[in-house]
Amino acid sequence: MQLPIYLYGQSVLRKPAEEIGPEYPGLEDLISNMQDTLEHADGVGLAAPQVGLPIRLFIVDLRPLADQDPAFADYTRSFINPKILEYSDETEILEEGCLSVPGIHENVPRSTRIVLQYQNIDFTQHEEVFEDYAARVIQHEYDHLNGKVFTDRINPIRKQLVKGKLNNIVKGKVDCTYKTRASR
């Protein structure tokens, strides 16, 4: 089932999300609905606050990039209560977008390598290294759990230039192929 995606301007996107435990109701259904939503919207990552839930959970789906890297052919992952333990000093600047910020694509610097601690759906704890594109997507989604969106990280001049577009998103003036929920 597809869920509406909350747009820039919604307060849930600015709230630090809370950790969850195994008692969280309907977690499997929620992840499956988030996967449907992400796939339909042609995105590569979706965090729970983007579907209106202030909890520490995000999913990553790198299958749209399988043409460029066959390793992504069946790359769908979910991360619960994630914590980035290490960021590489080396960073790379690449263009990003966000399903909550439709129509805006801007350069964002990100570490090229991170160490992530997270839990699986069964709440077992894992620690894993991610690099390059996967590391970027995870850092972007992780920001969502801390009330940040990628436009917070773009350079101030560019930010000024996209201000009008951001205001339109707040007002719900967007052209999306997926269901959205604007703040007004």
Whether the CB-CB separation of 118 and 142 falls below 8 Å is answered with no
**# chain residues binding Ni ion, by CB under 5 A:** 1
Q: Output the smallest distance, CB 140 to Ni ion, in A.
A: 6
Cβ proximity to Ni ion, 30 vs 104, nearer residue: 104
Whether the CB-CB separation of 15 and 147 falls below 8 Å is answered with yes
Residues in the chain: 184
Q: Which stretch binds Ni ion (CB under 5 A): 80-88, 91-99, 103-111, 117-125?
A: 91-99
Q: Output the smallest distance, CB 65 to Ni ion, in A.
A: 16
Please pick, among 86, 90, 106, 141, the residue that the annotation labels catalytic.
Answer: 141
Annotated active-site residue 19? The verdict is: no
Q: Which stretch binds Ni ion (CB under 5 A): 9-17, 25-33, 95-103, 117-125?
A: 95-103
DSSP, collapsed to helix, strand or coil, labels residue 56 as coil
CA dihedral 150, 154, 159, 161 (to 10 degrees): -110
Whether the CB-CB separation of 55 and 25 falls below 8 Å is answered with no
Whether the CB-CB separation of 95 and 105 falls below 8 Å is answered with yes
List 20, 30, 98, 135, residue binding Ni ion (CB under 5 A): 98
Q: Output the smallest distance, CB 47 to Ni ion, in A.
A: 7
109 forms beta bridges with 93
Q: Using CB under 5 A as the criterion, which residues of the chain lie in contact with Ni ion when the complex forms?
A: 98
Mind telling me the catalytic residues?
141
